[in-house]
Amino acid sequence: MIDVGSGPAIVLIPGVQGRWEWMRPTVRALARRWRVLTGSLPHEAGFDRLLSHVDRLLDDAHVSTAVICGVSFGGLVALRYAALRPERVRALVLVSTPGPSWKPAPHQARSLRWPLLSLPLFLAGAARRSWRELKATLPDARARLVFCAGWAVQLLAAPAIPWHMASRGRLAESVPFEGECARIVMPTLVIAGERELDGVVPVDGTMEYGRLIRGAQFRTLERTGHLGTVSAPERFAEIVSSFLDHLSNDHA
């Protein structure tokens, strides 16, 4: 478990790769204003196990309620947690989360079915999509190369396991989340990158949460796609902090 920063607590749930280390820049940026609780997802598939993981993060930190922030697949975990444990959720933040009726694109379906055999094609496609996005987020070539080098070190130090990623992807595909949206009662912020830059999760699907969750706000993390939380962590943290500051003012 990672517990850094001070102030009101935010639980940060990583994406389908399950490794909190991939979000280290995000953790650092949020921890300048907030107490950030996070950890890598358990290997076992199943939402019960994932919800227990969030319970454990809160219990180990002796925190009764927190902001629950999920990124990509982690947003589905956050959504379900907020629907089933509303008493522990101060606010909900969904970032580039697959839409409530998400189905994998053909290349994603191939990776879910044959995670090891599809790995070379998956990596090549991910590199191509990421480079295109990063050219918009980090137009300076030197800054872009520095980011890629640092990110590669993180990925190698905390590698994702393809069959665990596939198991989580199948889990995301198998559960309809429209019903969960109707149960959300806490303030909710939905964040996505720009439509043409996110080659992983369709932005229109993420935006559906803004329609289905009563009172939800939507913000675009400009000049980014799916990597915005790590490629533009300060701007991401500013959006989250602004939302939470307004909540505090409203309840003052």
Q: What is the pLDDT of residues 208-219, one digit of tens each?
A: 999 999 999 999
Average pLDDT of span 171-200: 91
Q: How buried is residue 249: exposed, middle or buried, by Cβ count under 10 Å (0-12/13-18/19+)?
A: exposed
Average pLDDT of span 52-70: 97
CB–CB of 23/14 below 8 Å? Answer: yes
Query: Is residue 3 helix, strand or coil?
Result: strand
Q: pLDDT category, 121, cuts 50, 70, 90?
A: low
Q: Is the pLDDT confidence value at 250 over 90?
A: no
User: Poorest-confidence range of 15-19, 77-81, 149-153, 207-211?
Assistant: 149-153
d(CA 203, CA 226): 9
CA distance readout (Å), 41 to 30, 48, 152, 242: 19, 12, 20, 28
Please report the pLDDT score of residue 117 as a whole number.
Answer: 64
Closest alpha carbon to 195 in 136, 138, 237: 136
CB–CB of 214/184 below 8 Å? Answer: yes
Q: How many independent structural domains does the chain possess?
A: 1
Residue 243's CATH number: 3.40.50.1820
Q: Is the pLDDT confidence value at 140 over 80?
A: yes
Q: Is the pLDDT confidence value at 74 over 60?
A: yes
The model scores a pTM over 0.85: yes
Q: How buried is residue 94: exposed, middle or buried, by Cβ count under 10 Å (0-12/13-18/19+)?
A: buried
CB–CB of 70/76 below 8 Å? Answer: yes
Range of the domain at 161: 2-250
Q: pLDDT category, 105, cuts 50, 70, 90?
A: confident
Average pLDDT of span 63-74: 97
Q: How many CB atoms lie within 10 A of CB 24?
A: 19
Mean residue pLDDT of the chain comes to: 90
If you ran DSSP here, which 8-state letter would residue 224 be given? Answer: -
Please report the pLDDT score of residue 119 as a whole number.
Answer: 64
Portion of the chain with pLDDT greater than 70, in percent? 93
Please report the pLDDT score of residue 7 as a whole number.
Answer: 93
